[in-house]
Amino acid sequence: MCDPADLASLLAFSDGLDRMGAGLVGWGPNDTSCCSWTGISCDLGRVVELDLSNRSLSRNSFRGVAVAQLGRLPCLRRLDLSTNGLVGAFPASGFPAIEVVNVSSNGFTGPHPAFPGAPNLTVLDITGNAFSGGINVTALCASPVKVLRFSANAFSGDVPAGFGQCKLLNDLFLDGNGLTGSLPKDLYTIPELRWLSLQENQLSGSLDKALGNLSKLTLIDLSYNMFNGNIPDVFGKLRSLESLNLASNQLNGTLPLSLSSCPMLRVVSLRNNSLSGEITIDCRLLTRLNNFDAGTNTLRGAIPPRLASCTELRTLNLARNKLQGELPESFKNLTSLSYLSLTGNGFTNLSSALQVLQHLPNLTSLVLTNNFRGGETMPMDGIEGFKRMQVLVLANCALLGTVPPWLQSLKSLSVLDISWNNLHGEIPPWLGNLDSLFYIDLSNNSFSGELPATFTQMKSLISSNGSSGQASTGDLPLSFVKKNSTSTGKGLQYNQLSSFPSSLILSNNKLVGSILPSFGRLVKLHVLDLGFNNFSGPIPDELSNMSSLEVLDLAHNDLSGSIPSSLTKLNFLSKFDVSYNNLSGDVPAGGQFSTFTEEEFAGNPALCRSQSQSCYKRAVTTEMSSETRFTFGLFLTVEAGFAFGLLTVWNVLFFASSWRAAYFQMVDNFFDRFYVITMVNLNRLRRKWEHKDHP
């Protein structure tokens, strides 16, 4: 049996649901044995726990007064309504015996519940709602609360003083709100605090040395705020610290020496600040460190050999600093390392670096963009490792030579970018025989000859997804930023291989011959960029079989004949550029062709729009009336199936040659901003095309 008063409250709650919601709960109005109902637990006939989590209740099945009925259950200790999409205000009173509340992942609005009449409240999780206003610290700290999870709501104003009164508080999560101002002093006096998560707010000011008083902290996440000043050198007192994330702030000064005194430390993320000086971390004491990210700062000097003493490192990001010299020989000891990015520094001796790194058996992602720019030659021999390599980027390094033969032994290679170098010679046919390879960028080099037929037979682009490797890079997203966009520091981020668009980017070379009809086999290819070469002959009708194609750039070649009308079948095509060829006839009508601009057909005197009876004269002055021809950006969204199919969208805003030189660099905006913005001067582009200059 269940208490009649409890039964009445539960039935009142059920009455507050519509017919569908009541069915999902599954309570019968004629059944008085409420202690046997779904989600109900009783003690001595009184309801003490209600768990309706993830019951697929919706905003349409919930009425605002329903939860208030539950507040009348005098013995209710645990309430879980999480992941239901419930909306409205949460009742401000009731629940006298409540201890644990989880209403996360709903749509509750208004002030947050504080349960002022509940002296035993220990856990309150309201993550992922739309609660707003300030935080009622006074009411919360009147209870022996241990866990406060207020993430991803709409709270605003300063972090209030008073948390120091929560003497038993272990976890404080206020991340993902709109909180402002500096941290109150008494926040540093919570004796039992273990998790402090304040990221993704608008907090500012400096970090107090009193941070060292929180001796039981295991996690500190203050990333994506506006904190400034030095990082206090107090970590010697935080012996239990496992994770420190201060990324994307305005911190300056040097790396705190005391970081080396945290024996439990596993994760350090300091990226995107203004930290300077040398890398002073002493890894001999950091035996558990597996993730170190100091990318996008102004660190100087050489990489200290002792950094290789962190033998458990799996991810290491030192990109976009001012480091220089050669890679230490001691890096051979980083046998656990999976991801390494050194993009945008001043490192030298690529041959030595590769000979060291080939000894790392678990290395899957290596990004060395924008280094070795002293006229070095691509190493051709002496490289035998990298058996697990999946992502290799050596873009924008001004390398001389040809495609190195040792690449053909990288059987797991999925992504290869050697763009913006000074490489020459023919593209070797074996490159198309690498079964896992689905992303190739060879653009902005001096490759010559015809395209190898093996490029039209790539297994990853015919029969499989190509990106099935799922090589996660964890908390260190790979990023593309096109050449000359370093001033913006923005790029398109990929944190696993499945995020990469399958692509063949061969623009700005000296390739000749016809466009192979057998490209039509590549039904999984998303981007085909052959612009700014010397291809001739017709556009093959078979290209219409490339059903996943989103970008087709054939601009600035010597193509002739008409544009196949069958290309209108490419429902996902969002970028099509055939400008400055010798095409003739009518531009196809219908499908995605109705969305393309005049500029994408310019420079073809015999090519006409049948409806307007206008033709695209080779009028350079018309196309180049402004200083720059086009700014492009690429926004990758999720595939779905609307008419004309443009639900796999990268809004590609291309200038004359569609995808100029992608190179990797670490960018901050981890999980939330995916975009590419590039500005390239037209005169430089014209010199590139007319005189074959190289960056």
Predicted confidence band of residue 21 (pLDDT cuts 50, 70, 90):
low
Inform me whether the pLDDT recorded for 627 exceeds 50.
no
Domain map of the chain by residue range? 1-129, 656-691
Cβ–Cβ < 8 Å for 203, 228:
no
For 447-487, the DSSP string reads: EEEEPPGGGG--HHHHTS-S-TT----TTS-EEEEETT-TT
- The residue among 86 and 546 whose pLDDT is bigger is 546
In the chain, the largest separation of any two C-alpha atoms, in whole Å, equals: 90
Inform me whether the pLDDT recorded for 407 exceeds 60.
yes
The pLDDT assigned to 617 comes to 66
- Rounded to 5 degrees, φ, ψ at 32 are -90, 0
- The residue among 682 and 572 whose pLDDT is bigger is 572
The pLDDT assigned to 235 comes to 96
Cβ–Cβ < 8 Å for 140, 160:
no
Phi/psi class of residue 613: alpha, beta or left (left: φ > 0; alpha: ψ in -120 to 50)?
A: left
What average pLDDT does this structure show over 197-205? 98
Q: Which of 363-377, 605-619, 663-677 has the highest mean pLDDT?
A: 363-377
- The residue among 144 and 677 whose pLDDT is bigger is 144
What average pLDDT does this structure show over 628-647? 31
The span from the CA of 433 to the CA of 692, in Å, is 29
The span from the CA of 309 to the CA of 312, in Å, is 9
- Choose among 558, 518, 565, 505: nearest CA to 536: 558
Mode of pairing for the β-strands spanning 365-367 and 339-341: parallel
Inform me whether the pLDDT recorded for 498 exceeds 90.
no
Q: Give me the half-sphere count of Cα atoms (radius 13 Å) on the Cβ side of residue 328.
A: 14
Cβ–Cβ < 8 Å for 630, 654:
yes
The pLDDT assigned to 679 comes to 27
Q: Tell me the pLDDT of the chain averaged across its residues.
A: 83
SS3 content of the chain, % helix, strand, coil (to 5): 20, 25, 55
The one-character DSSP state at 85 is: -
What average pLDDT does this structure show over 241-268? 96
What is the layout of strands, in order, in the sheet containing 662-664?
A: 492-494, 478-482, 662-664
- Residue showing tokens 């509340």: 101
Say how far residue 312 (Cα) sits from the centre of its chain. Answer: 24
Tell me the sheet residues that pair with 582. 560
What average pLDDT does this structure show over 172-193? 96
Kind and range of the H or E element at 514? strand 510-514
Inform me whether the pLDDT recorded for 430 exceeds 90.
yes
Inform me whether the pLDDT recorded for 668 exceeds 90.
no
C-beta neighbour count of 29 within 10 angstroms: 9
- Span of 41-55, 89-103, 453-467, 505-519 with lowest mean pLDDT: 453-467
pLDDT > 90 fraction of the chain, expressed in percent and rounded: 69
- The residue among 499 and 426 whose pLDDT is bigger is 426
CATH number of 1-129: 3.80.10.10
Ranges of beta strands (E only) in 67-186 are: 78-80, 87-89, 100-102, 107-110, 123-125, 130-133, 147-149, 154-158, 171-173, 178-181
3-state secondary structure of 685: helix
Inform me whether the pLDDT recorded for 484 exceeds 50.
no
The pLDDT assigned to 1 comes to 72
- Choose among 444, 491, 436: nearest CA to 462: 436
The pLDDT assigned to 495 comes to 53
